[in-house]
Amino acid sequence: MRLRLLTYNIHKGIGGVDRRYDLGRIVEVIAHYEPDVALLQEVDEGVPRSRGDRQAELLAERLGMPHFLFQPNVKLRRGAYGNATLSRLPLHDRDDVELTIRPKKRRRALVATLRLEEGGHSRSVVLVNLHLGLAGFERRMQVQRLIASEALTSHHAHTPCVVGGDFNDVWGAIGPRRMTPGGFEKATGLMRTFPAIAPARPLDGVYHRGDCEATGAFAGRIQAARRASDHLPLVVDFEIGGPQSP
């Protein structure tokens, strides 16, 4: 069973170079790579800077990805922003894992389960969408909290699990020091995604564990991606293995 996943900090649809709000550019970038699932960060809902748009809903509609979840994390005077997961297939078993390290900004991981079916077999895939903090100690504690959370520990070790998002991993240290000891393998390597116009830092990443294999990964570098946000998207193709009972 194949699954294409995209993770993308969309920066509220505001361009990293021209600072112009244009959600259509985000749509163009995501549509170009045709993902089955999109893990998005910095998604606005009802915020004046983005015309009060409910971005998760609009993106789901325009991309033909009818199943979506929105997780508002940072509340503003008007509206909020946070994580959104969009999917071509139904999403089940939503969980919101608290990752906030006081007094830092509120952070949570959005967890959901996707069920793939092929040839009379089915397989559940746990999806984790997150945006970690800016401080190193904050990120370390957040990863530890996520890995120890019931949202992950309640699943069998062989259950495919994919964690993607903006790790703010400036030096590429989270993988070997935190995710690998937690049983995860990095699917994307140290791919530079920030700033989008001239990428210098591998802030974003995708990790996986269980019965799944990353068969290909790349940073999206089409012209629209260099201007739509201040991050580039990451795209990973997975082969999901091992049938389980429907």
DSSP per residue, 169-215: -TTS-HIIIIITTTT-EESS-S---BSTTS--B--EEEEEESSEEEE
Tell me, what's the pLDDT at 117? 87
Tell me, what's the pLDDT at 113? 98
**Where residue 174 falls among pLDDT bands split at 50, 70, 90?**
confident
User: What residues make up the domain containing 111?
Assistant: 2-240
In a domain, 34, yes or no: yes
Is omega for the bond preceding 195 within 30 degrees of 0, making it cis? yes
C-alpha neighbours within 13 Å on the C-beta side of residue 230: 15
What is the tens place of the pLDDT at every residue in 88-145? 999 999 999 999 999 999 999 999 999 998 877 889 999 999 999 999 999 999 999 9
What is the tens place of the pLDDT at every residue in 50-92? 999 999 999 999 999 999 999 999 999 999 999 999 999 999 9
In a domain, 28, yes or no: yes
Tell me, what's the pLDDT at 33? 98
In a domain, 246, yes or no: no
| DSSP tag of 21 | B
In a domain, 245, yes or no: no
Tell me, what's the pLDDT at 246? 37
In a domain, 32, yes or no: yes
* Total domains in the fold of the chain: 1
Q: What is the pTM of this model?
A: 0.96
In a domain, 20, yes or no: yes
- Average pLDDT (169-184) is 89
**CATH number of the domain that 202 lies in?**
3.60.10.10
Q: Which distant-in-sequence residues (6+ apart) come within 8 Å of 75 by Cβ? A: none
In a domain, 63, yes or no: yes
What is the tens place of the pLDDT at every residue in 8-59? 999 999 999 999 999 999 999 999 999 999 999 999 999 999 999 999 999 9
Tell me, what's the pLDDT at 242? 54
The backbone torsions φ and ψ at residue 238, rounded to the nearest 5 degrees and listed phi first, read: -120, 145
What is the tens place of the pLDDT at every residue in 216-236? 999 999 999 999 999 999 999
In a domain, 38, yes or no: yes
Identity at 218, one-letter amino acid code: F
Given a cut of 60, whether residue 151 has pLDDT beyond it is yes
Tell me, what's the pLDDT at 245? 39
